Structure formats: structure tokens, C-alpha cells
Chains A and B, each alone.
Chain A
Amino acid sequence: GAVVSQHPSWVICKSGTSVKIECRSLDFQATTMFWYRQFPKQSLMLMATSNEGSKATYEQGVEKDKFLINHASLTLSTLTVTSAHPEDSSFYICSARWDEQFFGPGTRLTVL
């Protein structure tokens, strides 16, 4: 099956700093990737749809200036959490679209 990786798998940062998370499709090209956020004991909430070569489409209520998404190539999408605060602490999961969605392993972000 198709493989999607994320880096880093976990990150701890201080409040006010920015954190970049990478999502890569390792063995296929993905014109579309998705970013989800999952708080403890909650469901996956779609944050945005990332399209290669164009601007991301954000879901209602997601601040596009805070969560910067760049899909610069067919195998890489990045999510940058700018000026992170403790309430941004969460599990961030990407998925890449081929014939179906393939999920990355997730990134655990903790903001102190």
C-alpha cells in the first residue's frame, strides 16, 4: 500500500514560537493532501485541503494565518503552526490522496 510519512513524530516548543510539520507521500504523487487535528479523546477534525501548486482551502473556523500550509511539490506538504500557544497542543495528522486517502503517522505537538 501507499506510504505517507510525517516529520517530526513529536515536538515540544515554547509558547510564541512557530513549528513546521512535514507530510510526505513516499511512493506516489499526491496532488491533494489533507491536514487533520485531533485533541485527546476526540475525533479527527479536518483543518484544510492542500493542493499542489495552489492555495490551501481551509475549513470554517480554522485560522489560515495561524496554520500556514504549503504544498510545493507532489510529494510534500507542510503545516506551520505560527505563534503557537498551549491550546494548539494536539495530534496533527496528514493524509495524501491517491485512489483513497492514506494517513501519516501523526505529529504530537506540545506547546509549553
Chain B
Amino acid sequence: GENVEQHPSTLSVQEGDSAVIKCTYSDSASNYFPWYKQELGKRPQLIIDIRSNVGEKKDQRIAVTLNKTAKHFSLHITETQPEDSAVYFCAASDNQGGKLIFGQGTELSVKP
């Protein structure tokens, strides 16, 4: 089955800096890669996603890149703000509404 590895487990940046979180997946059948932000005790919130027919997608300060050949995808957050502090999870699925296999999570801390 699919296995998703996520790094780093913790990330601390200064406000205004960029943050990058990386994930790798094992199943070449996976074609949908969402990223979620989860605050303590809350549900995961979809922040951006990418399908395998696209190499990069951007939404304001957030971007995701996908390298199908290497089976890895990354989340880039620019101009970080304290409210970006949360746990971020990558995930992989073989379709947009299918079961999600999550990475281990990255606790991002943005210091003012």
C-alpha cells in the first residue's frame, strides 16, 4: 500500500521568512496530493492540492510542487506570519475523493 514520508517534523522560522515542507510517496498510482493545516483539537483544513498532471500550483503565499518521477512533492509558504503556526500534513490518494494516506506531520512555528 501507499506510504507517505514527511520532513521535517518540526520547523521554526522567523516571521517573513519562507517555509518548505517535503513529502515523498511510494505508490505510483497516487495522483492526488492535498496539503492540510491542522490547529490543535481542530479538523484538518485543506489549504492547497495538486494533481499528477500538474507540476506546480500557487495560491497567494502558498505553493505546491510535484515531481512525479521522483515521487515527491513540497509545500512552500512565503512571507510567513504567526497565524501560519500549526501542524501541516501532506497526503496522497489515488483519486480526489478517495482514501487519504497522510504523512507524519510538520509542526510549524512562526516567531514574531
Contacts and interface: CB of A to CB of B under 8 A. Distances in A.
B97 A97 contact: yes
B102 A104 contact: no
Given A100-B34, A105-B43, A106-B43, 16 more contacts: A42-B104, A43-B103, A43-B104, A43-B105, A44-B44, A44-B89, A44-B100, A46-B99, A49-B99, A93-B43, A99-B96, A100-B46, A100-B96, A105-B42, A106-B41, A106-B42
Nearest to A95: B100
Chain B interface mostly: loop
Interface string A82-109: 0000000001010101111101111010
Contact of B101 (A46, A97, A106, A108): A46
- Shortest beta-carbon contacts, A-B, top 6: A97-B97, A103-B43, A43-B102, A44-B102, A43-B105, A105-B43
Majority SS at the chain A contact face: strand
Interface of B: 1, 34, 41-44, 46, 49, 89, 96-105
Nearest to B107: A41
A34 interface: yes
A32 interface: yes
Given A43-B89, A44-B89, A99-B96, A104 B43 contact: yes
Contacts of A34: 99-100
